Amino acid sequence: MISEETGIIETTQSLDREAISSYSFVVVALDQGFPVQSAYTRIRVTVLDDNDNAPEFDQSQYHVTLLERSPIGSVLLLPRAYDPDTSHNANISYSMSGPEGLDEYIMIDPDTGLIQILSTISKAQFVRRGILTDFQDSSMTITLRASDRGSPPRVGEALLTLSIDDAAGRDPPVFTSQMYQVTLEENAQQGKPGWVDSMYFNMYY
């Protein structure tokens, strides 16, 4: 609204840039003479952005199945997040968090959100590292985050359920040590064993 006496223009309600980003109107000034003389001007008001929106992913939950021993560099997912603010308030940085040690095998590009394989993956490795609890466990939950660069920054989250598919059915057997030393008595009977241990990492399949 505008004051007829002072010409001061004031808002009558809060403004939302995401709804209306600018306003244009004409202001007319009239004198009190006779005949009345007038002048007018055009005013354009641009609403500045406030970091009042958090980034939002295009899905709240994602589900991906990963084959064991998929090639390094394979793409798991490209999630998208959108922030209706402008400028740095809309610039998004991606990150993720999951079981400890997972970041040695999977990475997310902070600029694009692209999630890729960093290192060869198998259930056996994941169980040894504690990323999976046991050989019957085949999935994990990862939290994806999209942060804007406002001050303070706002954060949006989504969940990724990552399942590991044992495509080969079983890992090859592995020796429990790289070197063994076996002692046998002189003149030992034929067929007397000297034990060498091996194991299956996912022998419970």
Per-residue pLDDT of 4-54, as tens digits, reads 888 888 888 888 887 888 889 899 998 888 888 999 999 998 887 788 889
Pairing state between β 155-165 and 61-67: parallel
29 found inside a domain? no
Give the model confidence (pLDDT) of 49-90 as tens digits.
Answer: 788 889 999 999 999 999 888 999 999 999 999 999 888 899
Domain assignment present for 115: yes
Contact 45, 11 (CB under 8 A): no
pLDDT per position as a tens digit, 112-160 = 999 999 999 888 889 888 999 888 888 999 999 999 999 899 999 999 9
Count how many domains the chain has: 1
Domain annotation covers residue 3? no
Instruction: Name the pairing type of β-strands 155-165 and 139-148.
Output: antiparallel
More confident residue, 189 or 201: 189
**Is position 118 within any domain?**
yes
CB count in 10 Å sphere of residue 20: 10
pLDDT given at position 191: 62
CB 158 within 8 A of CB 106: no
List Cα–Cα distances, 86 to 31, 93, 166, 183, in angstroms: 42, 15, 45, 75
Confidence bin at 204 (pLDDT 50/70/90): very low
State the average pLDDT over residues 168-191.
65
Q: For residue 129, how many other CB atoms are within 10 A of its CB? A: 14
Residue 203 is predicted with a pLDDT of: 38
For 97, the domain range is 56-165
Q: How many whole angstroms separate alpha carbon 124 and alpha carbon 122?
A: 5
- Tell me whether residue 17 is in a domain: no
Cβ pair 71, 131 in contact under 8 A: no
**92: in domain:** yes
Domain contains 96? yes
Residue 46: its pLDDT value, please?
Answer: 86
Give the confidence band of 194 by pLDDT, cuts at 50, 70, 90. Answer: low
- Residues 132 and 140 sit within 8 Å (Cβ to Cβ): yes
| Residue 170 is assigned to a structural domain of this protein | no
Contacts with 11 (C-beta within 8 Å, 6 or more apart), sequence order: none
The CATH number that applies at residue 107 is 2.60.40.60
pLDDT at 197: 47
* pLDDT value, residue 87: 86
C-alpha span between 137 and 132 (Å, rounded): 6
This prediction's pTM: 0.67
Structure confidence at residue 202 (pLDDT): 40
Q: How far apart are CA 142 and CA 161, in angstroms?
A: 6
